[in-house]
Amino acid sequence: MSSAVFIVLILLFILSALFIVPQWRLKRAIHQVIRIFREHNAIGIDNSKSIDELGMRSPGMLERMLRGRDYKQYALRALIKAAIIQTTEDGRLYLSEEKLVASGFGRNLSNPHKGTGQ
Span 63-99, pLDDT tens digits: 767 777 789 999 999 999 999 999 999 999 999 999 9
Domain boundaries, the chain: 3-108
- pLDDT reported for residue 62: 75
**Whole-structure pTM value:** 0.76
Provide mean pLDDT across the span 1-27. Answer: 88
What average pLDDT does the structure give for the chain?
Answer: 85
DSSP for the chain reads --HHHHHHHHHHHHHIIIIIHHHHHHHHHHHHHHHHHHHTT-BSGGG-B-TTTTT-PPPPHHHHHHS---HHHHHHHHHHHTTSEEE-TTS-EEE-HHHHHHHSGGGG---TTTTTT-
Q: Which fold has domain 3-108?
A: Arc Repressor Mutant, subunit A (1.10.10)
Alpha-carbon distance of 94 to 34, in angstroms, equals: 10
pLDDT score at 116: 43
Q: What's residue 15's pLDDT? A: 86
